[in-house]
Homo-oligomer: A and B are copies of this chain.
Amino acid sequence: MGPIFELPIRLPAKGSRALLRELHRQLRAAIIDGRLKPGSRLPASRALAAALGVSRNTTVAAYDLLLSEGYLESRPGAGTYVATALPQKARRRTRGGSRAAVDPRLAGIWREPPALLQPAPGGPYRFDFRLGHPDIRLFPFQVWRRLSARALRAASRAPAVYGEPEGRPALREAIARYVSFARAVASRPEDVVVTAGAQQAFDLIARILVVPGQTVVAVEDPGYTPLRLAFAAAGAKLAAVPVDGEGLIVDRLPANARVVCVTPSHQFPLGPAMSPRRRAALLDFARAHGVSVVEDDYDSEFRYAGRPLDALQTLDRAECVFYVGTFSKSLFPALRIGFVVPPPWARRALLAAKQLGDWHAPSLVQDTLADFIAEGHLARHIRKIRRIYGERRLSLLAALVRHCGGALEPIEGIAGLHLAARLRSPLRGSEVTMRAASVGIGLESLGRYSVSSRVDALGFGYGLIRAEEIDEAVRRLAPCLA
């Protein structure tokens, strides 16, 4: 009987990981407070497992951790012992107020960094209309699991080298083919740069185009806050340009704008598509002033009527447009895969920025996604969810008319993963969302996306809510508008 057995070790009845953590914690505690003396011999992992009634894997893993942490040492052929020289215990740092204080060592805007973005306020909600969340319940995880296992097998046979900053060839080929036809966006595999979601695309574009303190960047107002902040962080001088039912009001662009960021397929967050004449006017403006255009095509897959309008990049004849796409909406955000089709003159800089930023996107995810697209799963999945989201959209429109007709006026738009509605009420959107939250309904006041807060509208995402729940949700919302 080794010393270990005098220890009162109580283990949870839970899964092996909980067991392991607990066993590891209790053994380490016993070593630290001296109940297990340095140099004392531990029982064999098998004996300990038997004594505690756990699997041997668990005791082996616990010993492994303690060995790696320096608490135990194994003497070849002689077993496992408590280390004679224990590792220095981790120092608990006192954080004090230093987190809040502004530190002179930080540069520029980082002394007062922007507050962290929250996907949406509060939650969880009984009825969830928050924006930008696809319905993960619809995703074919079995297919993904099979493809990722295959990608892993392939990786196990390849040398562990760093990958190409532009992304894996197979994925770029799949993306190029997909956007070439699905969106008529001109691209060849060598035109595509794979990024960590659309957000990294915005960040990289900002870095290569913005001269800190000088470059004027026009953004939609209201617009997508994370894009605005990425350009602000790069030192851009932001110009908020209003939008109407035809999208960005091109006439309101400042003449000194050097970069213009737009969401032409489905203005975020209000919803209208940019009209053909506005698209032409924007491209004329860009060509005339040598302006770069960032086309954020974040959810154009979800279009419920008519033929898709051509992407700006498709219409572009002056190599002005950076086309940015993402799989966060068609698949799921946690994948963190998006892409850019930059104009040729920007490609080399973009690749350098990408490589210095994080070298390349994780290869296994890229390989899995490449097969997912090449085998037609993406096309199939999008057709499926487009139908389902379309049904939800119709249910939502009907319910808004039925229950909130006087107070909410849906805004035109035939695409996307959410619907915006103007508030015809003495209440502010923010008050309505607070009231709604109190009755278990999550929705967003679109004022939070506006720098001028001249917007008073509500956003209804339908990625998280089922069609059959929508009518009741809106019925419950109605009183919050009175």
Which residues of chain A have a CB within 8 Å of any CB of chain B?
A: 16-17, 20-21, 60-62, 64-65, 67-71, 85, 87-88, 90-93, 95-96, 98-99, 101, 103-108, 110-111, 113-117, 119, 124, 128, 132-137, 139, 141, 144-145, 148-149, 152-153, 155-156, 158-163, 165, 178, 180-182, 184-188, 191, 195-197, 199-200, 203, 207-212, 215, 226, 229-230, 233, 235, 258, 290, 292, 307, 310, 314, 319, 332-337, 343-349, 351-353, 355-365, 371, 374-380, 382-383, 463-464
Known: A105-B258, A141-B156. 12 other contacts (CB 8 A): A64-B379, A71-B181, A90-B184, A96-B344, A99-B344, A99-B348, A113-B349, A113-B351, A155-B332, A196-B358, A230-B356, A357-B357
Q: Which residues from B are CB-within-8-Å of A99?
A: 344-345, 347-348
Expressed in whole angstroms, the Cα–Cα distance for A229 and B356 within the complex equals 7
Question: Is A182's CB under 8 angstroms from B88's CB?
Answer: no
Question: Is A359's CB under 8 angstroms from B199's CB?
Answer: yes
Expressed in whole angstroms, the Cα–Cα distance for A114 and B353 within the complex equals 9
Expressed in whole angstroms, the Cα–Cα distance for A65 and B181 within the complex equals 10
Number of copies of chain A assembled together: 2
Smallest CB-CB separation from A382: which chain B residue? B68
Can you list 20 residue pairs at the A/B interface with Cβ under 8 Å? A17-B371, A21-B374, A60-B376, A68-B378, A69-B379, A90-B184, A90-B186, A95-B344, A105-B290, A105-B292, A105-B345, A110-B207, A110-B353, A114-B352, A115-B352, A133-B160, A136-B156, A203-B357, A336-B358, A337-B362
Expressed in whole angstroms, the Cα–Cα distance for A211 and B343 within the complex equals 29
- A362 touches which one: B139, B212, B365, B377 (CB < 8 A)? B365
Question: Is A334's CB under 8 angstroms from B356's CB?
Answer: no
A31 CB to nearest B CB, Å? 11
Question: Is A336's CB under 8 angstroms from B362's CB?
Answer: yes
Expressed in whole angstroms, the Cα–Cα distance for A350 and B329 within the complex equals 26
Question: Is A69's CB under 8 angstroms from B181's CB?
Answer: yes
**Contacts known (A334-B155, A353-B113); A93 close to B344, Cβ less than 8 A:** yes
A275 CB to nearest B CB, Å? 19
Q: Which residues from B are CB-within-8-Å of A195?
A: 358
- A141 touches which one: B133, B152, B184, B380 (CB < 8 A)? B152
Question: Is B211's CB under 8 angstroms from A107's CB?
Answer: yes
Question: Is A17's CB under 8 angstroms from B116's CB?
Answer: no
Q: Which residues from B are CB-within-8-Å of A464?
A: 159
